[in-house]
Every structure is written in structure tokens, then in C-alpha cells.
Amino acid sequence: MIELRTPAEIEQMRPAGRFVAEVLTRLTAAAGVGVNLLELDALAHDLIRDRGAESCYIDYHPSFGAMPFGKVLCTSVNDAVLHGLPFDYALRDGDLLSLDFAASVDGWVADSAVSLVVGTPSEQDLALIDTATRALDAGIAAAQPGARIGDISAAIAAVAHADGLSVNTDFGGHGVGRTMHGDPHVPNDGRAGRGYPLKPGLVIAIEPWFLQSTDQLYTDRDGWTLRSADGSRGAHMEHTIAVTEDGPLVLTQR
């Protein structure tokens, strides 16, 4: 069921958005060569506890997950792009790292993701991150009252296709509110003018993610991490936004 939020409820969601943004900023600053993925997860856990927030991930067990996630942060490295389960791995120079974090504050959820290169970046990785960033910006700009979900999807895909990337629509954006994942689904490719109408009060996560040379995924043996079928690297960017009478409001702006 798609729920629309009142202006007062959107105001109540702002603290969750600010907290998620602040955590990702802290994690991005902490990520460096030699830092273990479990250290990043522990830092996120500490920040959740200090804020009195609740993790959206630790007990999360959807049909596509082998077991409850068990961590509070997704850490996807290099050929991993989504749902990266933190494990005992020290980041290396040149790693492409995607961090995805969602938390509940006072009963309201926000969800956001960012990709970065640890240490010395390659031009190819920077270009992939730039494509995902511009696609996110395009998707947000398309989230205008009176438009449709397909307008967001088409705007994201146009950026990807212009840069020669293919798009997977199995995983994409989603409704956000009292829970992390809700309706509507916001695919990263679609036809403009189609789909659910964007009405003031709709709160969604927009999250383009791309792989360098494929759109196919497989699930790692850990039962969670999604990796590219050909070993190419991935980038993932995400913001939680509210559709308002004045246009899109980014709740997780960093």
C-alpha cells in the first residue's frame, strides 16, 4: 500500500534523514586503506546507540536474504554493489566501496547510500561513481508533483545509457516511511509518463546503481552480497526524498 505523508509528518522525518546523512559522512571519513569493514559496521552501530536510533538492517530478513542480515551497515567492495554483508576484510588502496545505511529515528526511517574510492582512484571508477551521482540528481529532479514514477526511472536510465551502461531493474528505489522498504518500487529504467503519479506527501528512496560492463548479478556465498556476473565494479548512490508542492525535498542531503 502506498501511503502519503502530511507536511507535519515529513517534518517529523527530517531528524532520521539528518542522522543517516551524518552517519554516512562519518563513515566516509573513516574509510581508508587498512580499515576493516567490521570496524565501519562497529562505528555505525556505536552511532546508532549514541543517538537512540534503531537499525533497519540487523534483523532484516526478506525472501532474498539467506538469514537475518545481522549487521547495521551494507559494505559493498569492488565487484559487489548491493547488500554487501560486512566481513573481516581490510580495505586496500584503490578499492571501490559502497556504503548503504538506513535507520529509524522516533519511528521514522531514512535510507541513503554513497560510493567512494579508498586511496588512489582509477579514472574508470571515478567515472562510474560520477554516472551514478548524476543519475541520482536526474532522478531527484524528475520527482516533481504531477509527474510519474516512470519519469524518475527514465531520467536515471538516460544518464546511464548516455555513458554506455546497461541497467538492471530487479533492485531499485522504494517507498520509505515507518519501515525501510515499501511501495512503490522505483526502477532505474522505465518509460516517462507511466507508473504511479507523484503526489505531494510521497516519500521514496531513489537509488541508481550500475556495473561497469554488465547488468547481471549473482549472490555471494554469504547469502546476501550481490556481485557483478563478470567481476566488473559497481557504484551505488541513494537519497530519501519527499515529493512536495514545491518539488523534491532531499531528506538525507549530506
Mean pLDDT throughout 71-90? 98
State the burial class of residue 219 (Cβ atoms within 10 Å of its Cβ: 0-12, 13-18, 19+): middle
Instruction: Report helix, strand or coil for 56.
Output: coil
Tell me whether strands 80-82 and 226-228 are parallel, antiparallel or unpaired: antiparallel
pTM beyond 0.95: yes
User: At residue 139, does pLDDT exceed 90?
Assistant: yes
Helix, strand, coil content of the chain in percent (nearest 5): 30, 25, 45
Q: What is the pLDDT of residues 55-67, one digit of tens each?
A: 999 999 998 899 9
What is the distance between the alpha carbons of residues 83 and 57, in angstroms, rounded to a whole number?
Answer: 10
Rounded Cα–Cα distance for residues 71 and 246 (Å): 37
Q: What is the pLDDT of residue 64?
A: 87
The answer to whether residue 119 scores a pLDDT higher than 90 is yes
Give the burial string for 87-104 (b: 16+ CB within 10 Å, else e). eeeebeeebbbbbbbbbb
* % of the chain residues with pLDDT over 70: 100
| CB-count exposure of residue 230 (10 Å: 0-12, 13-18, 19+) | exposed
Domain boundaries, the chain: 7-250
Work out the mean pLDDT of the chain and round it to a whole number. 98
Q: Which fold has domain 7-250?
A: Creatine Amidinohydrolase (3.90.230)
Q: What's residue 94's pLDDT?
A: 98
Q: How far apart are CA 173 and CA 156, in angstroms?
A: 11
Mean of the pLDDT values across residues 105-134? 98
Q: What count of other Cβ atoms lies within 10 Å of the Cβ of residue 251?
A: 25
Rounded average pLDDT over 124-148:
98
The pLDDT assigned to 181 comes to 95
Distance between start and end Cα atoms, the chain: 29
Asked whether the predicted pLDDT for residue 252 surpasses 90, the reply is: yes
Neighbour tally for 66: CB within 10 Å: 13
